[in-house]
Amino acid sequence: MATNSNSAFVLPAKPRRALRLTLIISAVAAFTIATCIPAIGGIEIDLGAIARNWRNGAEKVAQLMQPNFAFLPRTWAPMLETLQMALVGAVIAAFISVPVTLWAAAPTNPNTVMRGAVRTVINVIRAVPDLVYATVLVAMLGVGALPGVVTLVLFNLGVVVKLVSEAIDSGDHRYMEAGRAAGGTQFQINRATALPQVWPLFTNQWLYALELNVRISAILGIVGAGGIGRLLDERRGFYAYSDVSVIILEILVVVIAIELLSNLLRRRLV
How many helices (DSSP H) and strands (DSSP E) are in the chain?
Answer: 12, 0
pLDDT digits 0-9 by tens, 203-221: 888 988 888 888 888 788 8
| CA distance linking residue 11 with residue 155, whole number of Å | 52
| CA distance linking residue 86 with residue 148, whole number of Å | 9
Q: Provide the H-helix boundaries in 65-194.
A: 72-104, 112-127, 130-141, 145-169, 174-181, 186-189
pLDDT digits 0-9 by tens, 22-49: 899 999 998 888 888 777 777 777 777 7
- The closest of 68, 229, 204 to 144, measured between CA atoms, is 229
Share of the chain above pLDDT 70, in %: 89
Q: Render 206-240 in DSSP notation, one character per residue.
A: HHHHHHHHHHHHHHHGGGT-SSHHHHHHHHHHTT-
CA 174, 176, 178, 181 dihedral sign is negative
| CA distance linking residue 185 with residue 166, whole number of Å | 22
Q: Going from the N-terminus, what domains does the chain have, and what CATH number goes with each?
A: 18-52 (no CATH), 69-269 (1.10.3720.10)
| CA distance linking residue 46 with residue 40, whole number of Å | 16
| CA distance linking residue 203 with residue 103, whole number of Å | 18
Q: What is the pLDDT along the chain (270 residues), one digit of tens a residue?
A: 445 555 566 666 666 777 888 899 999 998 888 888 777 777 777 777 777 778 887 888 888 899 999 999 999 999 999 999 999 999 999 999 999 999 998 888 888 999 999 999 999 999 999 889 999 999 998 888 899 999 999 999 999 999 999 888 886 667 676 666 666 777 777 777 778 888 888 988 898 888 888 888 878 888 888 888 889 888 988 889 999 999 999 999 998 898 888 888 878 776
